[in-house]
């Protein structure tokens, strides 16, 4: 992780590398006040060699006496198209270029002429910090991170405390994203259910949230037939992991509950998947990994809120003990499902976890799951699918999606879709055919939440980078950690809304 400082200062009068953000215009202009000698250098390339396009970077070697070694121009794109994500992408790309060979130290100004100072600062920190993520634990030769220190420059003393606070908040959230990415990226041979639970326990111990792991016998006693069925084909037994962070000072408030699907490897079971790209099925634990990242961030931020995380964790493999098409299984809430495909396993383990969550009377219930390929067909890889029984929470999650760049798009949950799940021999079928596959999967889950305020996020297209994923500087190849920043932003706003009343 990078060390960040904040101080009052100006671009062009410090040694080291200086990052200057610029907009795209007919003649791009700097987004910060600059000394005349630096302006002269920029004017030689602005609008010619450097256009200011989003994530475009141009490096100017300098000979300014007592000034910077190099100036790194980074493009924010068109000013009238500026988003908070533009800052993540622009500063992230600049950080990557600096890290290649230039310097251990960089200076970067805070630009807040469109968005508020806090949001802009957090976006800049996220862009720089998340662009530095590497999953290299299995490489014999590791590339050392060169960029280690960034100083943010503000114009006056009155901005210092706000910016410092935003730097601290963003850094802690990024730590949670790192954790989610690490867990998602880990190969299944080293991250099967019991091992996943052990890793989560250690994270909780360090971060300051409680972890309880339910083993097979306890899961049987809890009547969780979905988790037991899906996990029955592997020598690695299923677990249910319960996390709790309580920052309310013992007030015992109703909790927010976040449920995350964690299939440490999904072969499809007896309804086995094609071999092509099956190696990507280690990413099927991304929902559970995001829950861990959220809890770690909340504990680090000491947010005054009570949050419970539930992670049903299984490995879905074919064997003589695996569940089969045609089987009928019963869930914790008493409902039964006829198994049409053992590759529609995520909804089965979530059904038990959601039923258990409802019993805890949550204020709101959110689940994240790499649930359906159909969601990728519907939305591609640029947004997560959102399904809900409550429009108010949907709008809040949408706003958080725009702020964090982890966008969501709402799809309907009309009762007609449930007709596709009718079974002749059980309460439900676990698949409703190819039409509207993401919606019928969400409709299946809705049978287990009752009247609880609930949002389902299908992150199949956003949990890891795929062929059609947009290239972004702060999202390296592999796991994205999607959901951590989105849910933490939502919860921070819930706290702020409560405190403002």
Q: What is the per-residue pLDDT across 171-205, written as a single tens digit (0 to 9) for each? A: 999 999 999 999 999 999 999 999 999 999 999 99
pLDDT score of 72 more than 80: yes
Measured N-to-C along each axis, helices 160-185 and 193-207 cross at an angle, to the nearest 10 degrees, of: 160
Q: Please, which residues have CB within 8 angstroms of residue 205's CB and are 6 or more apart in sequence?
A: 211
Among residues 148, 273, 360, 363, the one annotated as catalytic is 273
pLDDT score of 63 more than 70: no
**What is the reported pLDDT for 9?**
80
Collapsing DSSP states into helix, strand and coil, what is residue 99?
helix
**What is the reported pLDDT for 64?**
64
Statement: the pTM of the whole predicted model exceeds 0.85: yes
Is the distance from CB of 131 to CB of 176 less than 8 angstroms?
no
The pLDDT-based confidence of 26 (bands split at 50, 70, 90) is low
User: Greater confidence, 305 or 24?
Assistant: 305
Here the contacts of 194-198 (C-beta below 8 Å, separation 24 or greater) are 194/236, 194/237, 194/239, 196/239, 196/241, 196/262, 196/264, 196/285, 196/288, 196/311, 196/313, 197/239, 197/241, 197/313
Q: By percentage, how much of the chain surpasses pLDDT 70?
A: 97
pLDDT score of 139 more than 80: yes
Q: For all residues of the chain together, what is the average pLDDT?
A: 94
- Per DSSP, the residues of 136-169 read -TT-SS-PPP---EEEEEESSGGGHHHHHHHHHH
Question: Residue holding tokens 């530095």?
Answer: 132
Is the distance from CB of 284 to CB of 312 less than 8 angstroms?
no
**What is the reported pLDDT for 13?**
64
**What is the reported pLDDT for 12?**
62
pLDDT in tens, 198-230: 999 999 999 999 999 999 999 999 999 999 999
**What is the reported pLDDT for 489?**
98
The two three-digit tokens of residue 150, written as one number? 């960034």
**What is the reported pLDDT for 490?**
98
Is the distance from CB of 233 to CB of 339 less than 8 angstroms?
no
The two three-digit tokens of residue 355, written as one number? 């039923």
pLDDT in tens, 142-178: 888 999 999 999 888 988 999 999 999 999 999 999 9
Question: Residue holding tokens 């490897």?
Answer: 265
Of 286, 77, 109, 334, nearest to 182 by C-alpha is 286
Look up 347 and say whether it is catalytic. yes
Average pLDDT over residues 235-260: 95
**What is the reported pLDDT for 38?**
79
Q: Please, which residues have CB within 8 angstroms of residue 44's CB and are 6 or more apart in sequence?
A: none
Among residues 88, 89, 172, 347, the one annotated as catalytic is 347
Distance CA(350)–CA(362), nearest Å, equals 16
pLDDT score of 87 more than 90: yes
Distance CA(290)–CA(213), nearest Å, equals 17
The pLDDT-based confidence of 70 (bands split at 50, 70, 90) is confident
User: Greater confidence, 259 or 157?
Assistant: 259
Q: Enter the DSSP assignment of 315.
A: E
As a dihedral over the C-alpha atoms of residue 112, residue 115, residue 116, residue 122, rounded to 10 degrees, the angle is -80
Look up 137 and say whether it is catalytic. no
The two three-digit tokens of residue 293, written as one number? 């990242």
The two three-digit tokens of residue 382, written as one number? 């640029």
Average pLDDT over residues 247-272: 95
Q: Please, which residues have CB within 8 angstroms of residue 22's CB and are 6 or more apart in sequence?
A: 28, 29, 30, 31, 42, 46, 50, 52, 73, 74, 75, 76
**What is the reported pLDDT for 221?**
98
3-132 has which CATH code?
A: 3.40.220.10
The pLDDT-based confidence of 14 (bands split at 50, 70, 90) is low
pLDDT score of 31 more than 80: no
pLDDT score of 55 more than 70: yes
The two three-digit tokens of residue 153, written as one number? 């420059």
Q: By percentage, how much of the chain surpasses pLDDT 90?
A: 82
The pLDDT-based confidence of 242 (bands split at 50, 70, 90) is very high
3-state secondary structure 225-283: HHHHHHHCCCCCCCEEEEEEEECCCCCCCCCEEEEECEEEEECCCCCCCCCCCHHHHHH
Of 457, 416, 424, nearest to 438 by C-alpha is 457
Counting every residue written for the chain, the total comes to 501
pLDDT score of 467 more than 90: yes
Is the distance from CB of 231 to CB of 219 less than 8 angstroms?
no
**What is the reported pLDDT for 35?**
77
Of 27, 18, 25, 170, nearest to 97 by C-alpha is 18
- Domains of the chain by residue range: 3-132, 174-500
The pLDDT-based confidence of 65 (bands split at 50, 70, 90) is low
Q: 39-53, 365-379, 470-484, 487-501: which has the minimum mean pLDDT? A: 39-53
Distance CA(175)–CA(130), nearest Å, equals 9
**What is the reported pLDDT for 442?**
98
Distance CA(480)–CA(270), nearest Å, equals 29
Helices (H), 302-406: 346-358, 373-379, 391-404
Measured N-to-C along each axis, helices 286-301 and 484-500 cross at an angle, to the nearest 10 degrees, of: 40
Q: 174-500 architecture in CATH?
A: 3-Layer(aba) Sandwich (3.40)
């Amino acid at each position: 992780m990078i060390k960040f400082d904040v101080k009052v200062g100006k671009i062009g009068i410090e040694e080291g590398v200086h990052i200057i953000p610029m907009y795209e215009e007919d003649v791009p202009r700097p987004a910060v006040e600059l000394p005349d000698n630096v302006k002269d250098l920029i004017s030689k390339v602005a609008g010619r060699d450097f256009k200011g396009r989003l994530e475009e970077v141009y490096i100017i070697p300098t000979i300014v006496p007592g000034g910077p070694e190099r100036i790194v121009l980074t493009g924010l794109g068109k000013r009238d198209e500026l988003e908070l994500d533009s800052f993540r992408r622009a500063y992230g790309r600049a950080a990557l270029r600096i890290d290649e060979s230039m310097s251990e130290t960089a200076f970067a100004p805070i630009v807040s002429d469109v968005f508020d100072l806090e949001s802009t600062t957090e976006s800049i920190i996220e862009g720089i910090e998340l662009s530095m993520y590497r999953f290299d634990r299995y490489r014999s030769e590791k590339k050392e991170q060169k960029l280690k220190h960034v100083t943010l420059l503000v114009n006056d003393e009155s901005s210092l405390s706000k910016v410092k606070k935003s730097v601290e908040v963003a850094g802690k959230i990024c730590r949670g994203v790192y954790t989610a990415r690490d867990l998602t990226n880990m190969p299944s041979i080293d991250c099967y259910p019991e091992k996943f639970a052990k890793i989560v326990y250690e994270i909780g111990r360090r971060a300051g949230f409680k972890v309880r792991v339910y083993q097979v016998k306890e899961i049987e006693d809890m009547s969780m037939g979905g988790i037991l069925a899906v996990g029955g084909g592997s020598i690695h037994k299923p677990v249910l992991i319960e996390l709790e962070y309580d920052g309310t000072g013992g007030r015992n408030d109703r909790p927010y509950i976040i449920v995350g699907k964690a299939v440490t490897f999904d072969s499809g079971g007896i309804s086995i998947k094609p071999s092509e790209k099956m190696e990507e099925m280690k990413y099927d634990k991304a929902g559970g990994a995001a829950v861990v990242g959220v809890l770690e961030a909340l504990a680090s931020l000491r947010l005054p809120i009570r949050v419970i995380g539930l992670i049903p964790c299984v490995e879905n493999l074919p064997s003589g003990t695996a569940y089969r098409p045609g089987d009928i299984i019963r869930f914790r809430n008493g409902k039964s499902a006829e198994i049409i495909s053992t590759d529609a396993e995520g909804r089965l383990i979530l059904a038990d976890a959601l039923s258990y969550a409802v019993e805890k009377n949550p204020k709101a219930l959110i689940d994240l799951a790499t649930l359906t390929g159909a969601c990728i067909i519907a939305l591609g890889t640029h947004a997560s699918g959102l399904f809900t029984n409550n429009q108010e929470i949907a709008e809040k999650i949408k706003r958080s999606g725009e702020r964090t760049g982890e966008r969501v798009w709402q799809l309907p949950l009309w009762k007609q879709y449930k007709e596709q799940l009718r079974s002749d021999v059980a309460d439900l079928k676990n698949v409703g055919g190819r039409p509207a596959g993401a919606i019928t999967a969400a409709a299946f889950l809705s049978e287990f939440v009752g009247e609880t305020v609930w949002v389902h996020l299908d992150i199949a297209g956003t949990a890891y980078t795929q062929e059609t994923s947009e290239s972004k500087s702060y999202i390296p190849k592999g796991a994205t950690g999607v959901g951590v920043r989105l849910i933490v932003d939502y919860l921070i706003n819930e706290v702020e809304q409560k405190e403002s009343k």
